Amino acid sequence: MSPKAIWYWAVRAGIGWLVVLVAQIVWLAVSHHVSGWQQVGLVATVVIAAVHLTIMPQWRYRVHRWEATAVAVYTQSGWFHQERRIAPLSRIQTVDSERGPIEQLFGLANVTANTASAAGPLRISGLDLETAQRLVDELTYQTQLSPGDAT
Amino acid sequence: MPLAESDGPAAAALAGWRRLDRRMLVLHPIQELIRAIPWLVALLIAGGSSGHGSLWGLAGVAVVIFAGGLRWFTTTYRIAPEQVQVRRGLIRRQTLTVLRDRVRTVDVTANALHRLLGLARVTIGTGRSDRKDDGGVKLDGLSREECAWVRQELLHHLPTRPAGSPYRQSEAPSDSATEVELALWDPRWILYGPLTLSGLITLAAVVGFGYRIASEANINPARVGPVHDLLGSLGAASPALLIVVLSVAAMVLIGLASAGGYVLAFWNYRLTRQSTGTLHISRGLLTTRAVTLDERRLRGVELSEPLLLRAAHGARCIAIATGLRVGRGAEVGGSMLVPPAPRKLAETVAATILGDMETVTGPLAPHGPMARRRRYTRLLLLGSAALVALVAGWQVGPLPAWPWQVVLVLLFASPLLAADRYRSLGHAVVGGRLVTRWGSLVRRRCILASDGIIGWNIHQSFFQRRVGLVTLTATTAAGRQGYRIQDITLAEAVRVAESARPGLLSVFVSSGPAIAKS
């Protein structure tokens, strides 16, 4: 993973929390008589968001790993719940690379290797552009070599 | 293979293009008319205000019938050596092409109207389970004989008819393939129908619909004469009696609806295996259905036992085949191999299809004490959390008292469920097949061929990591797309994965933490 991924995950989560916070503030602002529960809720949101934003990206960075060998692709992701996925190259059907707006901001990209199973796409996020491009090329080349319809 | 569109009708006939049966000229207009009823009603109402209601309605009917009949002229199909093609549409001409070696299922369905006319609808399933709108190429309105031909040609790999020879009545499809009967309908099975509670959904839909209509028409069902009197006299006697009577009535209705649904769907059920490598399932009372499944696409079978059915020693059997999704639509879709029936029979059928009895009835490895504890803690924690929330809602909020009382009762029953859930857990790798079993309310035993496994997922929640357990998922293109083995140790997961597909998982997982890259 690129170390920039830490910032990317933080910003992405931060935006999510911001939406929640803004909604709560608007609710506070439009209420005629503010109840104690609303204030407690707001404080709780801020505290949880702060803890989440400091812990999650670091933790994620320590968990996330990927590896592509001549026969298979392996990914390791998550933080609180962790998931490891393995798919042999011969069963990979498509390789996609995607860059969302926040990812573009940090010069990152993700690569998804799809298999014929709906349960098994392997997603490698937070790669720097060059690595992502190289990986896509490599996987595309390798998967073309294997015959059959990969089911 | 490019299509010779410009060669004219004569050449098209030579190239083997066929039309639907002429009787569809009757079928389609009626079908279209039934489908257009809401639209016609709207038209009548709209037209009624301008004074030409009946006229507009008649015009609408004419258009609908015309459009239905037109389809006979616009729809043609052919079965070429490599592919199946269907051309349809008047203004927007479409040519659907399906490669023949991608055909997984051929589904011949005939509803009451079809059967009256001696027609059927053929759906050629290509296993594109991701496409929601239609499950494959449909040909609505072929004669019965033609359907049999199409099925023979597509799945039994018969040589296609020589180009330009249209189907003649005298040519019955030659049954050169020998077939073996695996299971046959037994009227006693109807008793298993109510145990699946499938009527619950039907009943809920009917009640919901009735309630909507009643509320639209401003009728309170409790005020309707006889209902009012009945409820009143019962309620006056005792509220407990009222609840008992209502639940018994609901249960009887659900039972009847389930049994009725069972008869409609599975009457005359018959499962056969053709020597050409296909499974053939035919069933249905009013709407008959005949599904032919290519065994080369079969990756395994699933035996599922809903709690009540299990108590009555019943089970059903579902095919795990690429391109056939299982799930809520299993009965509607073509993947049901054996409807709710005696478990012995379902097991025998599964074993015959797989050619292996041990995977179906053999012992499974238990998941150990930690997995057992997790069954209890998860249910108790979930129940307690729900209880706390509902009590809080009752104390400060608008919630009535009965929800938390119900949850409290359920909480006391939950250890039983947890114990049963643990008993269900089991896995094995036998003879190149992965077997996994789980669930209590619906216990499922899934048998998946190792060839069908296209990857592994190892999931560890925070709590699983603390006790060193993982959930191993074998991903596949068939059936549920992923089959889970819950709460086993990492070492066991690696062992299972290694014995099912050697040399894939161990490279990355057992050799300590994976090597970091970038």
Q: What pLDDT, on the 0 to 100 scale, is given for residue B385?
A: 93
> Mean pLDDT of all residues in chain A?
87
Amino acid at A110: N
Q: Which of B247, B243, B225 is nearest to B234 (CA)?
A: B243
| DSSP-assigned beta bridge partners for residue B246 | none
User: Which residues, in sequence order, are CB contacts of B373 under 8 Å at separation 6+?
Assistant: B467
pLDDT tens digit sequence for B61-113: 788 788 778 888 888 888 887 788 888 877 778 788 888 877 778 888 888 88
Across the interface, of A76, A117, A131, the residue whose CB is closest to B454 is A117
Taking the C-alpha atoms of residue B406 and residue B463, their distance in angstroms, rounded to an integer, is 28
Task: Return the bridge partners of B442, or none.
Answer: B306
ipTM (interface predicted TM):
0.87
Distance, in Å, from the CA atom of B457 to the CA atom of B109, rounded to the nearest integer, reads 38
B505: chain A residues, CB-CB within 8 Å: 86
The Cα of B518 is separated from the nearest Cα of chain A by a number of Å equal to 5
Please tell me the CATH code under which domain A64-145 is placed: 2.30.29
Closest residue on chain A to B460 (Cα): A82
Going by C-beta distance under 8 Å and a sequence separation of 6 or more, which residues neighbour residue B325? B129, B333, B335, B479, B480, B481
Do the Cβ atoms of A82 and B465 come within 8 Å? Answer: yes
Query: Does position B138 have pLDDT exceeding 70, yes or no?
Result: yes
Q: Is B481 in contact with A119 (Cβ distance < 8 A)?
A: yes
- Domain residue spans of chain B: 193-264, 369-500
Residue with the bigger pLDDT between B239 and B59: it is B59
Distance CA A91, CA B477 (A): 10
How far is the alpha carbon of B426 from chain A, nearest alpha carbon, in Å?
21
pLDDT tens string B180-189: 888 888 888 8
Can you give the pLDDT at residue A83?
A: 92
Nearest CA in chain B to A71: B504
**For residue B47, what pLDDT band results from cuts at 50, 70 and 90?**
low
Count of all residues that appear for chain A in the document? 151
Q: What's the confidence (pLDDT) of residue B235?
A: 66
Residues A85, A86, A91: CA angle, nearest 5 degrees: 125
Distance CA(B487)–CA(B367), nearest Å, equals: 7
Which of B452, B462, B505 lies at the smallest CB-CB distance from A86?
B505
Shortest distance, CA A127 to any CA of chain B (angstroms) = 8
The tens digit of pLDDT for each residue in B330-388 reads 445 567 889 889 999 999 999 999 888 888 888 899 998 999 999 999 999 999 999 99
Which is higher by pLDDT, B436 or B2? B436
pLDDT at B223: 62
B478 reaches A (C-beta below 8 A): yes
Choose, out of B454, B461, B481, the residue to mutate when testing the contact with A (most A CBs < 10 Å).
B454
Q: Does B8 score more than 60 pLDDT?
A: no
**Confidence class of residue B323 from pLDDT cuts 50, 70 and 90?**
low
Pick from B457, B517, B518: CB nearest A119: B457
Q: Do A117 and B459 touch (CB under 8 A)?
A: no
Query: Over B180-193, what HEC string results?
Result: EEEEECCHHHHHHH
pLDDT tens readout for residues A5-44: 899 999 999 999 999 999 988 988 888 777 778 888 889 9
Percent of chain B beyond pLDDT 90? 18
pLDDT tens digits for range A103-126: 888 888 889 988 888 887 898 888
CA distance B293 to B281: 8
Name which residue leads in pLDDT, B516 or A76.
A76
- Candidate from A66, A82, A87 with C-beta closest to B454: A87
Mean pLDDT of chain B: 80
Give B79's Cβ-side CA count (13 Å radius): 24
Chain B residues lying within 8 Å of A122, measured CB to CB:
455
Per-residue pLDDT at B160: 52
- Count CB pairs under 8 A between chains A and B: 101
Is the pLDDT at B13 greater than 70? The verdict is: no
Q: Closest to B518 (Cβ–Cβ): which among A2, A69, A120?
A: A2
Structural domain boundaries of chain A? 4-62, 64-145
